[in-house]
Structure 1
Amino acid sequence: MIWQLANDVEAFLHQHNKPPPQSFYDQMIINNKQMQEKNKEQERLREEMKRKEMEQEVIRRQEVLKSETRKRKEDYKNAESNLPSSNISKLAAPFSPLVSPIAPTQQHPTARSVSPATPNRFGTPSRQVPIPTLPRERRTSTPKRIEDEDSGTSPSCKEHAAGITQLTFLHNKIERKIQRGKCLGNSSGSTMYAGMDMASGELVAVGEWIMKWRHVSKKSNTYDKEEDPEGAVHLKQVLSIEQELLALLRLNHPNLIHYLGWKHEHQ
């Protein structure tokens, strides 16, 4: 009996013999591999479930589209079958060469343009058919100032009635001669003229700003900063503006106004 018990214990130990790991590091590596395999399996299962859900959603939408298409076809067939015969004759009427698609009721004239009444091949004048026009745009009234300038009676350009004047602008040792012409508009202290480059024929706009700080009757042949401190302040401002505009001369972009030159005169 003792011999039998010893044999059972030996068999149990041999069956459940698991040698310990070599080290804690090896055990950690084994555990990490098992965890990675488990995570991969779970990710694969999630992707598989997601793919099945997408397939089911696609199938459901296809079924909905098919049912909607079938329903529309049935509604269209029912509408055609219920359409009265009088409506069919009215729909076929515009195809007659002698019948106009315009309703015979008289209408008052509107702002839309109409084509002139021209005789057809039968010798009778055809009815005027309205031409479809573009959406109405906002109308802008022409200022009276421009009409006065065209007629030569503009009171705002009396002091600029010198006619055509030739101006010379110097930039980077290059002279640009501009022929100043008609006055285009006025504002407080400034005037805009039409101009043309004498060399290239390019059309330009010439802006003129007049700064007055003395009385008109007071005239002097020489300019003295001590006698005219206010003029010195204005001249300093003009020179500062000139430096800023000279920096803008280098800008050249299709969406920006390109400045070609700048000059100032003191009288």
Structure 2
Amino acid sequence: MRILIALDQNEYSAHTLGRVARLAENTWADITLLGIFPGKSDSALPNEFTATMDRYQKDFLNCFDAAFSPYGPMEENNAFREVQPGIHERSPGPGKGPKDMAVRIRMGEPSGIILEEAGKIGCDLIVLGCDTRDDCTWCPGGNVPYRVAAEAGCSVLVMKKDTDARRILSCLDHEEISQASLEMISQMSTLFTADLDIVGLTKKNELKQSVQTKLGMLQSYYLSRRIQPWIELVELSDLEAFIAGENRWSLIAMWMGKQSVFRRIFFDSKVEKLISNSRSSVLLLK
């Protein structure tokens, strides 16, 4: 697994590191810490931003026992060097661990840089933070989380600063869901000791028994991983109101693959509303 953590200089970015470290440790993931500074590519990189990235890297590595960390230690005096205009990297150093950890700073418009970097490294998950008090925008940068979530070719986790994952709402298309997405939900529930609610969609004149049978297979999957999910049946036409009217979930996970019914229901403006207005963190699975 390869995870890209997108970071700016704000507190909501620092907030993501500890949680993602736990996911990275459990999945044995390769990591890219990508700092984005909103300046022109020919501008000088401020020392205060490199200091911020130093702190982020140290905070991330401090989440691991040094004797068992999959990532090598942070090398002293290992400065960032400009490898291309507007792209600064830190070399891995001689103490590289068994898993890759890249630390990179890029300058420019945040959402475009994140999407370009994700495609370049072939990541499986993009993680970025935001603050619920500012409609989940980046400052500066605007609605970066939504633009990344809408356009990324991989799964995206938008972590709200004031939210801890204690209860997960999982909107899984029981006919089209991928194995990787099922496993991602399992990881999030286990790592954060979170209760799991699974929504099953029903349609008018459709036998609920057929939906329950398919959901039973999902339930068995999670039970085999010692997760006890709660199943809720929701009418397809009521789904948006159901999600909007509930405040008990700290994380809303939604399968948004090309064939998913949720992709058809939650078109772009509704996804933007979900990310911007909900107090819950949002995981869009692809």
**Shared fold, TM over 0.5:** no
Tell which has more relative contact order, 1 or 2 (C-alpha 8 A, sep 6+). 2
TM-score in terms of structure 1 length? 0.20
Structure with more of its chain in helix, by fraction:
1
